[in-house]
Structure 1
Amino acid sequence: MPTVKVTRDDWLRGAQRALAESGVSGVSVEPIAKQLGVTRGSFYWYFKDREALLVGALELWESEETIGFIEELAPIAEPLARLQTLFREALTGDLIAGLEPAIVAHASDPVVRVVLERVTTRRLDYLTDLFAQLGLDPAAARRQAVATYAAYLGWIELRRAAPDIAPETKGSGPLVEPALDHLLRLLTP
C-alpha cells in the first residue's frame, strides 16, 4: 500500500477547512489527520501542538488574503481602479468558503485575536491610504475605510449565512454584478 505524503501546507489547509466548518474547537488533530488520510503522528513532524497548527493556519490566511492580496494590487496605478479591483475580488472569491466569517466569529479567542487584529489594522490602513489617494482628508479617508470594511464583512457574512436569500452575494452570476456595481458606487467618492 502506498504511503501518503502530507506536507505542512496540507495540515494548514486542513486546519483552515476545519475552522471554516466548525470554528476554533474544530481545529483538532485527529479529525484533520483522518481527513488527510494519515495518522496523527505525521502532525508532529510539522507542529509542536494544536495551538501551533491554529497559529499557522491563521498566519497562512493572513499571508494570502491580506499581505499577498495587497501585493497583487500594487501594479494597478490608479487608486480607484485598485479599490474597485480589491473590492470585486474580495467579495466574489473565497479560498475556503466561510473561513473569514469563522475567524471573525472567534475574535475573542486569544490566538485568533492576535492575527485578526493585525489583519484588520493592515486592511484598514490600506483602505485609508487608498481613500486618501482619492482626495479625502485623513479623517474622512479613515471613516470611509471603516465603512467600506464593515460593508465587506457584512457581505461575506450574508453570503455565508443566507446565500439563497441573498443570491446577489454568491460568487458570480447575473445578480452579483449589478449588486457589486451598486455597492461600489455607494462606497467610492
Structure 2
Amino acid sequence: MALSREEWTGAALRALGEEGFGGVAVEPLARRLGATKGSFYWHFRDRDELLAATLQRWEDEETTAVIELVSGIPDPRERLLALADRALGDALRGGFDATILASAGDARVEPVLVRVTKRRMAYIAQLYRDLGLGRKEAAQHARLTYSLFLGMNQLSRAEGGRKPGPAEVKRSVELAVRGLLLSAGLPAE
C-alpha cells in the first residue's frame, strides 16, 4: 500500500497528540500505518523532516484554517464565540497545543510555536479592536484570552486527559467568553 506524505503527517500528528514527541518515530508510525520504513523514506529524509512537516500541518490546521473559518463571520462577537468554541473546545478535549507547548525549548518546535502564538494573539487582538477596544487594551485582552486557552489545555492534561462531553464544553465556552467580554467592559450578551 503506497502512503502519501499527508498520511504520514496525519499519523504523526495523531501520535503527537496521544504520546507527545516521543511517539513521532518512524518504526511505530510505520506499524500504525501498516507500512514499511521504505515508504517513510520515500517522503522524508529523516525524523526531523517529519517533525517539521507535522508541525507545519498543525499550524495549517489549528491556526490558519481556524482563522480562515471564523473570519467569514461578519459580527466580531460571533467571531469571538466561534473562535472560543473551536479553540477552547479543542483544549477541553485535550488538543495538541499542550503537547507542543511542553516542547517549547526544542529548537525544532520553538520557532513554529513563537510564530503561531504571535499570529493567534494578533488575530484575537484584532477581534477585540473590532469590538471597540483600543490597541493596547485589545492586546491585553488577547493575552488574557490566549492564556485561558493555554490554561485549559494544561488543565486537561493535569486531569489525566479527561474529555468533557459536548454540553460541558459548550457551557465552559459560554462562561469563558462572557467573562472575557465583561473584563473588557463590553456587553456579554
**If the length of structure 2 is used for normalisation, what is the TM-score?**
0.88
1:87-140 deviation line (CA, Å, top 9, x unaligned):
01212237x954221001101111111111110010000011111111111110
Specify the alignment match of 2:2 in structure 1: 5
The CA deviation at 1:18 is 2.1
Contact 2:94 2:156 in 1 (8 A): no
- SS in structure 2 opposite 1:93? helix
The CA deviation at 1:151 is 0.2
Identity of aligned residues (%): 40
Specify the alignment match of 1:34 in structure 2: 31
Specify the alignment match of 2:156 in structure 1: 159
- Structure 1 CA distance for aligned equivalents of residues 169 and 70 of structure 2: 22
> Paired residue for 2:166, among 147, 154, 172?
172
State the number of aligned residues: 181
**If the length of structure 1 is used for normalisation, what is the TM-score?**
0.88
The CA deviation at 1:163 is 6.2
- Structure 2 CA distance for aligned equivalents of residues 18 and 163 of structure 1: 17
Specify the alignment match of 1:143 in structure 2: 140
- Structure 2 CA distance for aligned equivalents of residues 68 and 103 of structure 1: 18
Listed as ranges, the matches of 1:125-136 within 5 Å are 125-136=122-133
Listed as ranges, the matches of 1:61-76 within 5 Å are 61-76=58-73
Runs (4 or more) in structure 1 with deviation over 3 Å come to none
- Structure 2 CA distance for aligned equivalents of residues 99 and 49 of structure 1: 22
- SS in structure 2 opposite 1:111? coil
Alignment RMSD, CA only? 1.9
Contact 2:17 2:95 in 1 (8 A): yes
Gaps of 5+ in 2: none
Gaps of 5+ in 1: none
> Paired residue for 1:85, among 77, 82, 106?
82
- Structure 2 CA distance for aligned equivalents of residues 178 and 50 of structure 1: 40
Listed as ranges, the matches of 1:42-53 within 5 Å are 42-53=39-50
Paired letter, 1:137: G
